[in-house]
Copies of this chain bind each other. A is one copy, B any other.
């Protein structure tokens, strides 16, 4: 198990850190201000984003997430880990490098399972950052943590599929550039549990697709990307829009979720690092009861505990990434499940301590803490709640003795 970084990666880390200092952190407030000054929060993407994307592309900081070397940077998961962590330090950063969820996961699906036609039509513009995409799996009417509960129907009718269903938490659906959804639903309700589901490409402008509303997260609308509730009413798409084939939904989901999950974890560690940095800087400069907060024992305890949690989570992320690279996502499933539980929880812990150390400022938007907290909180639920992952970990542990 070798976690060393090659000179190539060290170089990328350096460039990326420099880019963050130069272009990302100073523009976080610019982004928010542009958003407020728009016609409305959903009408456009703040122009700073496209400006920064150009710069990132120029510097070769583009599509780093994609291990495939034909389409992407060709980095392994382990190589990508420190880079993705850095991007996770700012909520506006990942998109600037075309490394944001859910587009990365969707691109990965198309690279692995897409037909040539699908790649040409959707993958290329996504890789170029010209369009955005969403992923429509979760449903309001069932506990979607158990994916066999998914009830949307995808029915073959001649050369077309007809899609009906209600989805929510399709992140990115609000983005005016979002053109395509990958929809999961049942094509084959009579097959065995793991072969009933399929994935299909549905352009958002197809008749019958309706974004009912955008869902907030702890008061944040996450505009202009947002989280959509979408109804599909007799939506017809060409049969060739199916991805890989009928009944492959589960298999694709497994392939998609491994990298998607670990990318979230890498970013969460970056968020936690930034929160710790904010906390340290602040407590060195605030005085209460005759001493700086940094000199108070409880605050020092928070800092130490935070450093300990981050270090351990990072090592586990690296191990999971290393295993995905060497023995494959399937063999790495315990490690992926473990880090998917750990990373959001430690990020929440660290951010929460930072909030407490900052006092009232911490819950406001003067610092990125509250927004990072809300974002991290969703990741104890999204891509499988903690409990489902723990269930899986325990099952694999017990199997050793059965």
Contact with B along A211-233 (1 / 0, CB 8 A): 00001111111000000000000
Q: Which of A11-19, A238-246, A256-264, A273-281 is near enough to bind chain B?
A: A273-281
Residues of B close to A356: CB separation below 8 A: 380-381, 385-387
How many copies of the polypeptide does the oligomer hold? 4
Given contacts A1-B3, A397-B304, contact A364 B286 (CB under 8 A): no
Stretch with Cβ within 8 A of B (4 or more), from A21-29, A155-163, A177-185, A368-376: A368-376
A327 at the interface (CB under 8 A from B): no
- A363 at interface by CB-CB < 8 Å: yes
* A135 contacts partner chain B, Cβ-Cβ < 8 Å: no
Segment with Cβ contacts to B, from A58-66, A96-104, A110-118, A294-302: A294-302
Measured as residues with beta carbon below 8 angstroms from the partner, the interface class of chain A is 35 or more
Report the bound CA distance from A222 to B313 in whole Å: 35
B397 close to A303 (CB less than 8 A): yes
B397 adjacent to A280 (CB under 8 Å): yes
The segment from A45-53, A124-132, A136-144 found at the interface with B is A136-144
Known contacts A217-B363, A303-B398: does B140 contact A308 (CB below 8 Å)? no
If A277-B401, A316-B311, A394-B301 touch, does A218 touch B359 (CB 8 Å cutoff)?
no
Asked whether any CB of chain B lies closer than 8 Å to the CB of A341, the reply is yes
| Most B CB within 10 A of own CB, among A140, A149, A362, A401 | A401
User: Quick one: given A304-B391, A319-B315, A393-B308, are A286 and B143 in contact (CB under 8 Å)?
Assistant: yes
Task: Name A residues whose Cβ lies closer than 8 Å to a Cβ of B.
Answer: 1-4, 138, 140, 142-146, 149, 168-169, 215-221, 276-277, 280-281, 283-284, 286-289, 293-294, 296-301, 303-305, 307-308, 311-313, 315-316, 319, 334-335, 338, 341-342, 355-356, 359-366, 370-371, 373-374, 377-378, 380-382, 385-387, 389-395, 397-398, 400-402
